[in-house]
Chain A
Amino acid sequence: MSFMKPSKPVGIVGYGSYVPRYRLPGEEVSELWTEGNAGLPVREKSVPGLDEDVVTMSIEAARNAMKRATGAHLTAENLQQKIGAVWVGSESHPYAVKPTSTIVAEAIGATPFTQAADWQFACKAGTEAFQAAIGFVSSGMAKYAMAIGMDAAQGRPGDALEYTAGAGGAAYLIGPIEDALVEIEGSLSYVTDTPDFWRRQYEKFPEHAGRFTGEPAYFGHIMSSANALMEAMTLKPSDFNYAVFHQPNAKFPLKVGGELGFSKKQMEPGMLVNDIGNTYAGSCMIGLTAVLDMAQPGERILVTSFGSGAGSDSFCLRVLRKPEHNGAVKTRDYVARRKVIDYAQYTRMKGYYKLN
């Protein structure tokens, strides 16, 4: 087992989230495709506006992370020059070839002397960037590294995924422990070749293997990953104040958490899926921001992602101090900022109509 503990302690120096303003209630999808007879996997999901994509959402989340990272000892200009990596994990990068990350890096003023890359691993693309950033900073190769998980998820019209495929995510600025709000105590990654969900090159929508996405994929990987991390760190569920799992629907995370031994109370602060849907690479990463907005110093958090194909990353975090928000919007405030749209507006925002 390969437990990852940074040789030099590192932490989360700043974090920020983003959720678009628009919401599509599950009833809208159900009404159109099933005459209202489908069970709803989430109440509603977030939908990006006509002028939003993974680039713009990543920029806003990263700016929020920069706001929380700056303070008396760290000015914005000082910080910009020391960001050694801008990494964006997503499965909906606007370009197939041309990095999202260079646009984000330019917008947050981190260019030109920085690493920039786009990461891809279905819904765990964000946490793998996060994990790599830990190593990058701990090794001394970068003072700070920005790791972003963000998606404007695709779901084929009428498919089960259309109810849940949401938009949003989070950005984390990883840095030295002395600047940190949260210490990263350890992490672990667990992967196998399990084809539960995929999207081929040039296809607009992903395919999935139905119920096969459950036991062998989502549950198998998350259980193995989370249990292995707790075992490596000799911690048990009751040692954690919060647990955040990948949230493809409202049922799975609570079920997997329950099987691992976590209570609803530990999981609810990070559960956003009923309000914003499945934000794919952003899912557990934005759930964590909601926890950090309210967590107290000394509290411990388990975060476990899941990415189809398949793998799961687990992280053990401990809160060092409460953040100064400096104008950064809190995650629950983004969630509360909502305008409900109907299916017609949704199809337009998703670009399903060909105009030219």
Chain B
Amino acid sequence: MEVARFWRTNKQRYQLVGEECPHCKGKIFPPRDICPTCDKEAKVPYVFSGKGEVFSFSTLHQAPAGFERYAPYTVALVKLSEGPMVTAQLTDVDASDVKIGMPVEMVTRVLREDGERGMLVYGYKFRPA
């Protein structure tokens, strides 16, 4: 498993650390170096509140390699209250109860593990708020 790759995105995954554009004050997640709104450089860290609502969702049955033990699971586009959209799993909820517009909040959960010997990857998911 790509240990360094997970390590360098720890802040994003554990705490929803994105950026705030110093020029247009737009909030950015996932972080990127160029503000998508005003195309200027944006590198000021910004911690998101983790509050948002479900914009769209789906429960998938055929999981990709590494995620088999969690299937079926519900994934969603979550519109954060600060504006940006984030792609994540929903947790602690029955698929039949998920609705577009449902308020959710960020929690930190296990995203996957690399077998019994490999590392555990933790990151954000969202649950009903």
- The CA-CA distance from A353 to B69 in the complex, in Å, is 9
Partner of A56 from B15, B69, B110 at Cβ < 8 Å: B110
Q: Determine if A60 and B70 form an interchain contact, defined as CB atoms under 8 angstroms apart.
A: no
Q: Determine if B108 and A59 form an interchain contact, defined as CB atoms under 8 angstroms apart.
A: yes
Q: Which of B15, B68, B108, B125 lies at the interface centre, i.e. has the most chain A CB atoms within 10 A of its CB?
A: B108
From 81 to 104 in chain A, residues with beta carbon under 8 angstroms from any chain B beta carbon are: 94-95, 103
- The CA-CA distance from A107 to B16 in the complex, in Å, is 10
**Interface extent on A, as a size class?**
20 to 34
- The CA-CA distance from A107 to B47 in the complex, in Å, is 12
Partner of B115 from A55, A60, A339, A356 at Cβ < 8 Å: A356
Q: Determine if A50 and B120 form an interchain contact, defined as CB atoms under 8 angstroms apart.
A: no
Q: Given A94-B120, A106-B14 in contact, is the A356-B92 Cβ separation under 8 Å? A: no
User: Which residue of chain A has the shortest Cβ distance to B127 in the bound complex?
Assistant: A21
- The CA-CA distance from A103 to B111 in the complex, in Å, is 14
B contact residues, total (Cβ < 8 Å): 21
B122 at the interface (CB under 8 A from A): yes
Q: Determine if B110 and A52 form an interchain contact, defined as CB atoms under 8 angstroms apart.
A: yes
Partner of A50 from B11, B47, B70 at Cβ < 8 Å: B70
Q: Determine if B14 and A50 form an interchain contact, defined as CB atoms under 8 angstroms apart.
A: no
Interface of A is mostly: loop
- The CA-CA distance from A18 to B102 in the complex, in Å, is 23
Partner of B110 from A53, A106, A107, A109 at Cβ < 8 Å: A53
User: Which residue of chain A has the shortest Cβ distance to B115 in the bound complex?
Assistant: A356
Partner of B108 from A50, A60, A339 at Cβ < 8 Å: A60
Measured CB to CB, the closest approach of chain A to B74, in angstroms, equals 12
User: Which residue of chain A has the shortest Cβ distance to B111 in the bound complex?
Assistant: A51
A210 at the interface (CB under 8 A from B): no
B56 at the interface (CB under 8 A from A): no
Q: Determine if A50 and B69 form an interchain contact, defined as CB atoms under 8 angstroms apart.
A: yes
B107 at the interface (CB under 8 A from A): yes
Note all chain B residues with C-beta closer than 8 A to A52: 109-110
Measured CB to CB, the closest approach of chain B to A194, in angstroms, equals 33
Measured CB to CB, the closest approach of chain B to A196, in angstroms, equals 29
- The CA-CA distance from A94 to B110 in the complex, in Å, is 11
Pairs across A and B, CB under 8 Å, 13 listed = A49-B109, A50-B70, A51-B89, A53-B110, A53-B120, A55-B110, A56-B108, A103-B14, A103-B122, A107-B14, A109-B47, A351-B69, A355-B69
